[in-house]
Amino acid sequence: MNGKLGLKHIVLGLVFLAILLFPLVWRSQYVIHIVTLVLLWSFVATAWSFMARFGIVSLGHGVFLGIGAYIPILLFNFGGLSPWIGMVVAIVAAVMMSMILGYPCFRFGLVGDYFALVTLAMAEVGSLVVVAYREYTGGSLGLTLKSSNRSWIDFQFDDKRAYYYIAMIFLLLALYLWRRIGKSKIQMALTAIGESELAAASLGVNVIKYKMLITMLSAGLTAMGGVLYGQYVTYICPETVSGVSVSLSVCFKAILGGMFDMLGPFIGTAIMVTLEEYIRISLGTKFSGVSEIIFGSAILVLIIFLPRGIFGSLKDLMVKKKHIERA
Amino acid sequence: MADQIIMAFINGILLGGVLALLAFGLNLIFGVVKIIHMAYGQFVMLGFYLIYSFNAIFHIPLVPAMLLGIAAMALLGVLTQLLLINPLLNAPRLNQLLALASLIIVLENLAMIIWGADYRGIPLTLPIINIGEVFIRSSYLIAFIGAIVVLGLLYLFLHRTYLGLAIRATAQDLEMAEGMGINPRIVYYVTLAAGGALTGVVAAFFVPIYTVHPHFGSSFTIMAFVIVVFGGMGNLLGGFISAFIIGVATSVAAVLYTNELADILALILFVLVMLVRPQGLLGVRA
Amino acid sequence: MLKVDGIDIFYGEFRALEAVSLKVEAGQTVIVVGPNGAGKSTLLRGISGLQRTRKGAVYFHDERIDTLRAYRIVEKGISLVPEGGRAFPYLSVEDNLRAGAYNRNARGYAKEGFEQIYDLFPILAKRRRQMAGSLSGGERQMLAIARSLMSKPKLILLDEPSLGLAPLVVDLVFEFVQKMKKEGYSILLVEQNANRALRIADYAYLVESGKLVFEGNRQDFDKNPYIKTAYLGL
């Protein structure tokens, strides 16, 4: 990849162009809605993968998502504060939360299983807090965004395509950051830490600093995703934006596509969201839950047979092919 | 108010007995197979649904239905080992965690589809025992006594039989256990069967106390983890003691504050324990 | 009785043993010596089934055992006492011994086994209810050997039994190995301490960097000038 224009680049370029021009050309509101969701959730899945690809697995990203969804809506509904400012508040809150959680964990060497369990607990705490303060948040019944006519200022748009493009910009931002990090010291440091924390530390790598950096980044981005979700869907409840199931759902999307590759989460999300919609349509709401079962089982099978996800395994296959061709 | 606290204390102890069973199962599986059974609470939920189905739908009398439920859950444990854990024995920890976590999603949604989102239960009225100002539900008392009996039997099994010895040896040194002629696969199957059966037993004790719904498992899974981490992961005695401490603490907190705050406190306690003393009360630093 | 025929053992990509062959006849005490990291422990692990062998074969009483799982090999009559003994730390002395008698050949004889062991090792009798983890290093080693005897083995594999032990205890260990030899056990002993080991050997092999470089009886080893200086410190 020395800047030569390979097939891969052409395909990617076409896909990007398609995504860019798509809403201007396509008529169906519904399809635009689906792709918006794909872009949004890919963004969140990519944000999660920032941490996971280095071995820092969080099963509780719902807590950041929830912060992003609830804070701007609460501030707007009760205080008239523009959700753009709400977004900044939410991001700061999420980052601070990740610091409060992350620092002690990293400082005391909580890794792997135990760390995952802690994050799971935090996701549950997030849900419970929402339910406990139900006078403000509506508890398990959910919260609806008050509508306003001051479009841009209040992060509300009549033309849903605005959300589409914001989601696309968010995703591009995440991919850009992935690229930047990939070329930076952070990548090397975290890879070393992922292989052996002890070895890395003895080489002078500030383990805590790098883990904190990637965690804070992941948390902030996830919160942004939550903000966009809240503003777009306008109805949120603990089930959909915080808690264990949405946290796991995000993990699944990333793993399905392969969380070690930049476009893995996007592909995994695309597959999952479209299939979920398809199942929802064909089976109706009576069978709500079928898609979850299918995906849960698929992930199970995937983890057993294809630990690098679909995209990752395809890449491995390509690499193997190259080696065979060369040999 | 004082009465309420005393009652909460007593209820905490009574339920603590059942929670101790839950902790035992989780600790056994973790200690022997070295895997965290993320969906343990969902197993309890499933056990409950099965007992309910056997009794209310297939009209099997209650006690046989319970025994059938326990057997079914033991079988599920073995299947889990066979289909899920065996292939992942040498996989990275993350994969094991996620595979079992996906079981949470699969089981909860399966329950949703098969039994619906409504609360299901077997209506049983059991007498209430009065002692002065305080009343105790006999369902709680039966659960407590039953749990202690089962724990006693489990202790005898582990310490007085060859199979129990095999399980304890495998938990401490897998290679050396094999070096004694112990087949680890058999030990794993027995462990998962026992762990599964325990969820059936817990479900049976819960039948006169609760009604079940698809998210019933979540609160118990988290609670079970809090107890097990607090007592030291893999430490059976630690889990036992911790179950009562946590049982009483959450029970009393629920009376003093609200239910949700009690749960939040339990979870924050969990996080703190993880950070300050991850080996728990009686655990040993790995 | 035991025939190892040209085995290779790999740890991942790394070849720990290459084309190693040896024999142990019934009732013999065979020693394997060599420097640290030569692959001696790996050899014992390979024979006992804890490590897979690639290439070659291992035969016990003319039956091929290298394809068997470790717990099956125990049933055939081979017992490994690993480096450090590795007694089960949270089991009592008695439970450790009982675990030794787990396999179906030995279980019926557990009761006599206990009597014999407590006779031979009065210290273990005294500490029978104690957790193995609270015993001293030497006691744990004794426990591990005793545990191994409980399994009614025909061949005992000993991996550096004197490692980390005080000289007096080392004496006890080698004394005990002599006793076992007199009782008729076949022994394959791995040791860094070549001097001591050779004194009780019927036959010996020298392994260096995963390869067999010399074999013979005590005199052969004494006469070889390289071995004399490198291993016997003479």
pLDDT tens track for C167-194: 888 888 888 888 888 888 999 999 888 8
Please state the domain count of chain A: 1
Q: Is the pLDDT of residue C46 over 60?
A: yes
In angstroms, the CA A119 to CA A58 distance is 6
- Chain C residues whose beta carbon lies within 8 Å of the beta carbon of residue B181: 71, 74-75, 102-104, 106, 151
In angstroms, the CA A311 to CA A308 distance is 8
Q: What average pLDDT does range A207-226 have in this prediction? A: 93
Portion of chain A with pLDDT greater than 70, in percent: 91
CA-based nearest residue in chain B for residue A104: B275
Token output for B53: 């189905």
- Chain A residues whose beta carbon lies within 8 Å of the beta carbon of residue B91: 303-304, 307
Please state the domain count of chain B: 1
pLDDT for B286 equals 41
pLDDT for A320 equals 66
B273 or C29: which leads in pLDDT: C29
**Residues facing C17 on adjacent strands:** C9
Q: What average pLDDT does range C207-232 have in this prediction? A: 83
Q: Which of B95, B106, B274 comes nearest A118 by C-beta?
A: B274
In angstroms, the CA C76 to CA C63 distance is 10
Q: For residue B255, is it within any domain?
A: no
Do A and C make contact via 3 or more CB pairs under 8 A? The reply is no
Which is nearest to A181 in space by CA: A76, A50, A313, A291?
A50
Tokens 């603990």 sit at which residue? A238
Q: Is the pLDDT of residue A284 over 80?
A: no
Exposed (0-12), middle (13-18) or buried (19+): which is A284, by Cβ within 10 Å? exposed
pLDDT for A326 equals 54
CA-based nearest residue in chain B for residue A291: B109
Q: Is the pLDDT of residue A323 over 70?
A: no
Cβ contacts below 8 Å, chain B against chain C, sum to 70
pLDDT for A319 equals 67
Q: Which of B98, B225, B260 comes nearest A251 by C-beta?
A: B98
Judged by a CB distance cut-off of 8 A, whether residue C111 touches chain B is no
- Chain B residues whose beta carbon lies within 8 Å of the beta carbon of residue C107: 162
Residue partners of A225: CB distance under 8 A and separation at least 6? A40, A41, A43, A44, A47, A65, A68, A170
pLDDT for A306 equals 73
pLDDT digits (tens, 9 = 90+) for A147-173: 777 777 777 777 788 888 899 999 999
Question: Could you give the angle at the alpha carbon of A76 between the alpha carbons of A70 and A79, nearest 5°?
Answer: 120
B135's enclosing H/E stretch is strand B134-137
Which DSSP category does B137 fall into? E
Q: For residue B70, is it within any domain?
A: yes
Q: For residue A2, is it within any domain?
A: no
pLDDT digits (tens, 9 = 90+) for B26-40: 999 999 998 889 899
Judged by a CB distance cut-off of 8 A, whether residue A244 touches chain B is yes
Interface test with C, best of B165, B167, B176 (most C CBs within 10 A): B176
Q: What average pLDDT does range A254-280 have in this prediction? A: 86
The H-assigned helical ranges of chain B are 2-33, 40-52, 62-79, 93-115, 138-160, 162-172, 174-179, 184-206, 216-231, 236-256, 259-276
Q: For residue A151, is it within any domain?
A: yes
User: pTM for the whole thing?
Assistant: 0.86
Range name among A315-324, B125-134, B271-280, C50-59 with the lowest pLDDT average:
A315-324
Asked if A295 and B263 come within 8 Å (Cβ–Cβ), the reply is: no
Which is nearest to A256 in space by CA: A297, A218, A305, A311?
A311
Please report all neighbours of B, defined by 3+ CB atom pairs within 8 A: A, C
Confidence of residue B285 (pLDDT cuts 50, 70, 90): very low
Asked if C95 and B168 come within 8 Å (Cβ–Cβ), the reply is: yes
Q: Is the pLDDT of residue A9 over 80?
A: no
Q: Which of B162, B166, B179 comes nearest C74 by C-beta?
A: B179
**Residue B74: other Cβ atoms inside 10 A:** 22
Radius of gyration (Cα) for chain B, nearest Å? 19
Residue partners of A204: CB distance under 8 A and separation at least 6? none
**Residue A112: other Cβ atoms inside 10 A:** 14
Judged by a CB distance cut-off of 8 A, whether residue C74 touches chain B is yes
In angstroms, the CA C165 to CA C193 distance is 12
- Chain C residues whose beta carbon lies within 8 Å of the beta carbon of residue B90: none
Judged by a CB distance cut-off of 8 A, whether residue A158 touches chain B is no
Q: What average pLDDT does range B90-117 have in this prediction? A: 86
pLDDT for A3 equals 52
**Residue A191: other Cβ atoms inside 10 A:** 13
Which DSSP category does B61 fall into? -
Q: Is the pLDDT of residue B179 over 90?
A: yes
The dihedrals phi and psi of C15, each to the nearest 5 degrees, come to: -90, 110
**Residue C188: other Cβ atoms inside 10 A:** 25
Please report all neighbours of C, defined by 3+ CB atom pairs within 8 A: B
Asked if B274 and A307 come within 8 Å (Cβ–Cβ), the reply is: no
pLDDT for A1 equals 47
Dihedral angle sign, alpha carbons of residues B92, B97, B100, B101? negative
State how far residue C97 is from chain B, nearest Cα, in angstroms.
Answer: 10
**Residue A162: other Cβ atoms inside 10 A:** 17
In angstroms, the CA B122 to CA B282 distance is 38
In angstroms, the CA A304 to CA B15 distance is 37
The H-assigned helical ranges of A183-308 are 185-195, 197-202, 207-233, 238-241, 244-257, 264-283, 290-305
Q: Is the pLDDT of residue A325 over 70?
A: no
Q: Is the pLDDT of residue A287 over 70?
A: no
A4 or C167: which leads in pLDDT: C167
**Residue C215: other Cβ atoms inside 10 A:** 17
A288 or B236: which leads in pLDDT: B236
The dihedrals phi and psi of A284, each to the nearest 5 degrees, come to: 75, 175
Q: For residue A65, is it within any domain?
A: yes
Confidence of residue C72 (pLDDT cuts 50, 70, 90): very high
pLDDT digits (tens, 9 = 90+) for B79-98: 999 999 998 888 877 778 88
What's chain C look like in SS3? CEEEEEEEEEECCEEEEEEEEEEECCCCEEEEECCCCCCHHHHHHHHHCCCCCECCEEEECCEECCCCCHHHHHHHCEEEECCCCCCCCCCEHHHHHHHHCCCHHHHCCHHHHHHHHHHHCHHHHHCCCCEHHHCCHHHHHHHHHHHHHHCCCCEEEEECCCCCCCHHHHHHHHHHHHHHHHHCCEEEEEECCHHHHHHCCCEEEEEECCEEEEEECHHHHHHCHHHHHHCCCC
- Chain A residues whose beta carbon lies within 8 Å of the beta carbon of residue B213: none
CA-based nearest residue in chain B for residue A289: B109
Interface test with A, best of B46, B106, B233 (most A CBs within 10 A): B106
In angstroms, the CA A143 to CA C57 distance is 70
Q: For residue B286, is it within any domain?
A: no
Q: How far is CA A18 from CA A23, A35, A36, A194, A270, in A?
A: 9, 12, 13, 36, 15
> How many helices and strands, by DSSP H and E, does chain A display?
15, 2
Full domain range(s) for residue A321: 7-326
pLDDT for B90 equals 82
In angstroms, the CA C234 to CA C229 distance is 5
Q: What is the dihedral of CA A62, A64, A69, A72, to 10 degrees?
A: 160
Q: For residue B50, is it within any domain?
A: yes
Confidence of residue B124 (pLDDT cuts 50, 70, 90): confident
Q: Give CA A174 to chain center in angstroms.
A: 10
pLDDT for B164 equals 95
Q: Give CA B263 to chain center in angstroms.
A: 17
Q: Is the pLDDT of residue B181 over 80?
A: yes
In angstroms, the CA C186 to CA C203 distance is 12
A172's enclosing H/E stretch is helix A161-182
Question: Taking a C-beta distance cutoff of 8 angstroms, is the pair B281, B241 a contact?
Answer: yes
Question: Taking a C-beta distance cutoff of 8 angstroms, is the pair B216, B223 a contact?
Answer: no
**Residue A196's domain is classified under what CATH number?**
1.10.3470
Q: For residue B107, is it within any domain?
A: yes
Interface test with B, best of C51, C68, C71, C104 (most B CBs within 10 A): C71
Asked if A105 and B222 come within 8 Å (Cβ–Cβ), the reply is: no
pLDDT digits (tens, 9 = 90+) for B125-166: 888 888 777 788 888 999 999 999 999 999 999 999 999 999
- Chain C residues whose beta carbon lies within 8 Å of the beta carbon of residue B165: 91, 95, 98-99, 102
The dihedrals phi and psi of A126, each to the nearest 5 degrees, come to: -55, -50
- Chain C residues whose beta carbon lies within 8 Å of the beta carbon of residue B183: 69, 71
pLDDT digits (tens, 9 = 90+) for C109-146: 888 889 989 988 888 999 989 999 999 888 999 999 99
- Chain A residues whose beta carbon lies within 8 Å of the beta carbon of residue B260: 128-129, 131-132
Judged by a CB distance cut-off of 8 A, whether residue B222 touches chain A is yes
Asked if A132 and B87 come within 8 Å (Cβ–Cβ), the reply is: no
Full domain range(s) for residue B187: 2-112+138-217
Reported ipTM: 0.90
Which DSSP category does A145 fall into? P
Q: What average pLDDT does range B194-203 have in this prediction? A: 96
Q: What average pLDDT does range C96-103 have in this prediction? A: 93
Asked if C90 and B184 come within 8 Å (Cβ–Cβ), the reply is: no
Question: Taking a C-beta distance cutoff of 8 angstroms, is the pair C81, C145 a contact?
Answer: yes
Asked if B179 and C91 come within 8 Å (Cβ–Cβ), the reply is: no
- Chain B residues whose beta carbon lies within 8 Å of the beta carbon of residue A132: 258, 260-261, 264
Residue partners of C126: CB distance under 8 A and separation at least 6? none
pLDDT for C106 equals 83
pLDDT digits (tens, 9 = 90+) for A66-85: 999 999 999 988 888 888 89
Judged by a CB distance cut-off of 8 A, whether residue C86 touches chain B is yes
Q: Is the pLDDT of residue A23 over 60?
A: yes
Average pLDDT, chain A: 84
